[in-house]
C-alpha cells in the first residue's frame, strides 16, 4: 500500500471499561495531527479494582474496522495494583477512530 506522508490526520480515542474489575487510570496518545506513515505511540495504565489477583487486559481497536491495532496487552495484577504498556503503531492515511478496551 502506498502511503501519502504529505498529509496529516488526527486520532480520536474512546475508552471502554468492559468489566468493572479493571479501570483505565491513564492513557496518552497524539492529540495533534500526525503525518501518515509516522510511528505513533499509545500508552496506558490499568488498575485491578477487583477483589482478587487476576489477569487484566487492554486492546486497542480501530472503531471503523473492528480490527485490533497492535497486540493484546495483559498481565496478572494484584488487587489495587497497576500495569502499564505501550503500543507503537503506524499512522494510516485517514483520521483514525480508536477504542481502548480494558477488562479482567
CATH class of 9-103: mainly beta
pLDDT number for residue 14: 86
CA atoms within a 13 Å half-sphere pointing along the CA-CB vector of 50: 19
Q: How far apart are CA 103 and CA 38, in angstroms?
A: 29
Determine contact, residues 46/82, Cβ cutoff 8 Å.
yes
For the chain, the average pLDDT equals 90
Supply the DSSP string of 9-77, one letter for each residue. Answer: E-EEEEEEE-STTEEEEEEE---S-EETT-EEEEEEEEEE-SSS-EEEEEEEEETTT-PBPS--EEEEE
pLDDT digits (tens, 9 = 90+) for 34-76: 999 999 999 999 999 989 999 999 999 999 999 999 889 999 9
Confidence of residue 17 (pLDDT cuts 50, 70, 90): confident
pLDDT number for residue 4: 52
The full set of domain ranges for the chain reads: 9-103
Amino acid at each position: 500500500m502506498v502511503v501519502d506522508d504529505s498529509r496529516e490526520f488526527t486520532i480520536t480515542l474512546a475508552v471502554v471499561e468492559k468489566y468493572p474489575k479493571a479501570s483505565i487510570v491513564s492513557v496518552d496518545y497524539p492529540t495533534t495531527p500526525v503525518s501518515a506513515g509516522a510511528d505513533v505511540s499509545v500508552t496506558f495504565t490499568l488498575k485491578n479494582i477487583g477483589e482478587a489477583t487476576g489477569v487484566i487486559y487492554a486492546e486497542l481497536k480501530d472503531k471503523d474496522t473492528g480490527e485490533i491495532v497492535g497486540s493484546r496487552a495483559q498481565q496478572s495484577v494484584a488487587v489495587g495494583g497497576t500495569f502499564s504498556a505501550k503500543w507503537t503503531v503506524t499512522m494510516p492515511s485517514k483520521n483514525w477512530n480508536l477504542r481502548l478496551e480494558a477488562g479482567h
